[in-house]
């Protein structure tokens, strides 16, 4: 790798960290609609500071998308997808430092969103700055697409893609994130699962009642619990009729990539403190589920009195948030419909189902040369083992981008195995940020040729 670029990146690190600090100080919690405009405005400012002419794209009822374009020597165009929104920081009491204040401890940078996905955007911006500083211009055209609803299921994103498709056209796309595993292997991800996120609510009594009436009247939490328990067996099998009908089995290329993935199952169990995987699965069977099986997870549960001590109340209402991670070719709206029908069939028509967000799964064709290029550059820059995931276990709006633009999409970034994405004390390692900046700079150079 070009020693000049490496030196420039290092010299610019204090400035890069300053940018990251400012970015992380904006809450931008999509679920609460908190700090959205401030974060979008700051991202625009970052692009302006690099000499681009960014635009804030707006659609009614949607968080804005920040778009920017940099000219380049070649006509090839690389698109970067990122998002400026973050997950809610709760539970606050478990953070060692305030979530919206970037704090460095032992080479680690703590803040909500620093790993998902503010550090990644900053790594791209720092790479561009280093290339501009070194060469005066970029070797290829670069476009940025930074949305603000990723953490609530990118609800408006397909509309943006539909509206601004021509603006976003590119030859390939680098997705938002990536990680190093506990053996420092570098991960490259070429797809995502989809999601169907629903809120289940029940109010089956006019008011909260004295719990002695539980002798003849059922409270809302018990009814919700029965309904939820019926969604999935302890073997992980989802009991909603029709749920698996559209599940597409992975193809040969995906299976081949999956089999090459080192799956350190005992270390995973030890790290998360779990005795076993769902259904007692082991080895490739568990890895297969992680990559290729849809899920059903209770993300939140609430009803009645949850304070200290005991309150003898028959609660009139209860609520659950449930996510289903989907695989090709499941459709989130269809899954919500199937769930509704299942609950009705089970006698739970008193439970409402609200679709909070839905996204389809997506997989890039692993035989595309861009996938190989990213792997080669990653090996060259990191000097370590590189692992290709046909898709992530997580979700992102790759489907609208991939389908509308017809481009290969590959995700790499600055996270690592213990980044605690979506959890308290989210962080990245400073050295991984620097490595990712170098990787981005090198990738832009190699892609241009």
Of 153, 158, 194, 390, the residue at the interface with a second copy (CB under 8 A) is: 153
> Nearest distance from residue 242's CB to a second copy, in Å?
20
The token pair at 405 is 């633009």
Q: Which stretch binds a second copy (CB under 8 A): 65-73, 120-128, 131-139, 391-399?
A: 391-399
Q: Which is nearer to a second copy, 193 or 340 (CB)?
A: 193
Q: How far is the CB of 218 from a second copy (least distance, A)?
A: 5
- E strands, 204-282, in order: 209-210
What is the nearest approach in angstroms of a second copy to the Cβ of residue 219? 6
**How many residues at the interface with a second copy, by CB under 8 A?**
91
Kindly give, in sequence order, each residue whose CB lies less than 8 Å from that of residue 323, ignoring residues fewer than 6 positions away: 195, 196, 197, 198, 295, 296, 297, 299
If binding is defined by CB under 8 A, does position 229 make contact with a second copy? yes
Residue in 242, 251, 283, 347 binding a second copy, rule: CB under 8 A: 347
Question: Rule CB under 8 A: is residue 97 a binding residue for a second copy?
Answer: no
Shortest reach from residue 424's CB to a second copy, in Å: 7
Kindly list the strands in the beta sheet with 194-203, ordered across the sheet, starting from the edge strand earlier in the chain: 317-326, 194-203, 351-359
Q: Is 325 in the site for a second copy (CB under 8 A)?
A: yes
Q: Pick from 22, 62, 88, 133: which binds a second copy (CB under 8 A)?
A: 88
User: Out of 93, 307, 367, 369, which residue is the one contacting a second copy (CB under 8 A)?
Assistant: 307
Cβ proximity to a second copy: between 139 and 358 the closer is: 358
Question: How many CB atoms neighbour CB 207 within 10 A?
Answer: 8
End-to-end CA distance of the chain: 15
Least Å distance, CB 36 to a second copy, is: 12
Window 38-67: contact mask with a second copy (x via CB under 8 A) = ------------------------------
Place of tokens 């503010």: 118
Q: Which residues contact 62 (CB under 8 A, 6 or more apart)?
A: 149, 155, 156, 159, 160
Nearer to a second copy, 357 or 390 (CB): 357
In angstroms, give the least distance from the CB of 7 to a second copy.
36
Query: Can you give 18-41 as a three-state secondary structure string?
Result: HHHHHHHCCCCEHHHCECHHHHHH
* Residue 314 near a second copy by CB under 8 A: yes
Least gap, CB of 30 to a second copy (angstroms): 7
Site membership for a second copy, residue 352 (CB under 8 A): no
Residue 281 binding a second copy, by CB under 8 A:
yes
Q: Does a cis peptide bond (omega within 30 degrees of 0) precede residue 117?
A: yes
Of 8, 228, 336, 443, the one binding a second copy (CB under 8 A) is 228
DSSP state of 239: -
Q: Does residue number 272 form part of the binding site for a second copy (CB under 8 A)?
A: yes
| Binder among 138, 318, 326, 401 for a second copy (CB under 8 A) | 318
Query: Do the strands 172-175 and 409-411 form a parallel or antiparallel pair, or are they unpaired?
Result: parallel
Is 6 a binder of a second copy (CB under 8 A)?
no
Using the rule CB under 8 A, is 92 a contact of a second copy? no
75 is a contact residue toward a second copy (CB under 8 A): no
Stretch of 239-247, 278-286, 366-374, 427-435 lying at the interface with a second copy (CB under 8 A): 278-286
Residue 241 lies near a second copy (rule: CB under 8 A): no
Q: Is residue 212 within 8 Å of 312, Cβ to Cβ?
A: yes
- Work out the angle at residue 342's Cα, subtended by the Cα atoms of residues 340 and 347, and round it to the nearest 5 degrees: 95
Does 277 interact with a second copy (rule: CB under 8 A)?
A: yes
Residues 164-223 interacting with a second copy (rule: CB under 8 A)? 193, 195, 197, 199, 204-219, 221-222
Contact between 151 and 86 under an 8 Å Cβ cutoff? The reply is yes
From 289, 334, 337, 376, residue interacting with a second copy (rule: CB under 8 A): 289
Please, is 162 exposed, middle or buried when counting C-beta atoms within 10 Å of its C-beta (0-12, 13-18, 19+)?
Answer: exposed
- Are 318 and 282 a contacting pair, CB within 8 Å? no
- The C-alpha atoms of residue 263 and residue 284 are separated, in whole angstroms, by 8
Which residues, other chains included, contact 148 with Cβ-Cβ below 8 Å and sequence gap of 6+? 28, 30, 36, 39, 40, 63, 64, 65, 83, 84, 85
- Angle, helices 36-49/13-24, rounded to nearest 10 degrees: 160
Choices 19-27, 46-54, 176-184, 293-301; region in contact with a second copy by CB under 8 A: 293-301
Does 290 contact a second copy by CB under 8 A?
yes
User: Residue 374 gets which letter from DSSP?
Assistant: H
């Amino acid at each position: 790798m070009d020693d000049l670029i490496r030196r420039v990146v290092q010299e610019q690190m204090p400035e890069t960290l300053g940018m990251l600090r400012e970015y992380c100080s904006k809450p931008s919690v999509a679920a609460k609609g908190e700090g959205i405009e401030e974060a979008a405005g700051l991202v625009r400012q970052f692009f302006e500071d690099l000499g681009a002419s960014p635009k804030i794209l707006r659609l009614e009822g949607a968080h804005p998308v920040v778009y920017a374009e940099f000219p380049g020597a070649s006509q090839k165009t690389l698109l970067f997808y990122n998002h400026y929104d973050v997950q809610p920081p709760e539970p606050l009491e478990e953070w060692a430092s305030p979530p919206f204040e970037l704090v460095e401890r032992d080479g680690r940078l703590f803040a909500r969103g620093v790993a998902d996905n503010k550090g990644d955007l900053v790594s791209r911006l720092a790479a561009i700055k280093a290339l501009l500083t070194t060469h005066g211009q970029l070797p290829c055209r670069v476009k940025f697409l930074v949305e603000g609803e990723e953490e609530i299921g990118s609800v408006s994103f397909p509309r943006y893609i539909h509206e601004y498709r021509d603006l976003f056209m590119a030859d390939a796309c680098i997705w938002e994130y990536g990680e190093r595993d506990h053996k420092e292997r570098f991960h490259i991800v070429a797809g995502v699962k989809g999601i169907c996120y629903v809120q289940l609510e029940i109010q089956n009594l006019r008011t909260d009642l004295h719990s002695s009436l539980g002798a003849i009247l059922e409270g809302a939490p018990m009814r919700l619990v029965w309904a939820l328990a019926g969604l999935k067996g302890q073997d992980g099998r989802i009991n909603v009729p029709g749920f698996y009908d559209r599940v597409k089995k992975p193809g040969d290329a995906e299976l081949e990539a999956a089999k090459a993935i080192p799956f350190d199952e005992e270390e995973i169990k030890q790290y998360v403190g779990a005795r076993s995987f769902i259904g007692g699965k082991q080895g490739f069977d568990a890895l297969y589920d992680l990559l290729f099986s849809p899920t059903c997870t209770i993300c939140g549960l609430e009803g009645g009195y949850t304070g200290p001590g005991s309150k003898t109340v028959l609660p009139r209402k209860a609520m659950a948030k449930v996510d289903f991670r989907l695989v090709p070719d499941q459709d989130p709206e269809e899954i919500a419909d199937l769930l509704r029908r299942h609950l009705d069939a089970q006698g739970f028509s008193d439970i409402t189902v609200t679709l909070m967000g839905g996204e389809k799964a997506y997989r890039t064709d692993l035989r595309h040369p861009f996938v190989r290029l990213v792997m080669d550059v990653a090996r060259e820059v990191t000097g370590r083992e590189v692992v290709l995931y046909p898709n992530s276990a997580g979700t992102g709006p790759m489907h609208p981008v991939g389908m509308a633009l017809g481009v290969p999409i590959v995700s790499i970034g600055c996270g690592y195995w213990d980044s605690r994405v979506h959890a308290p004390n989210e962080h990245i390692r400073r050295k991984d940020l620097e490595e990712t900046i170098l990787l981005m700079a090198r990738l832009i150079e190699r892609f241009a040729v």
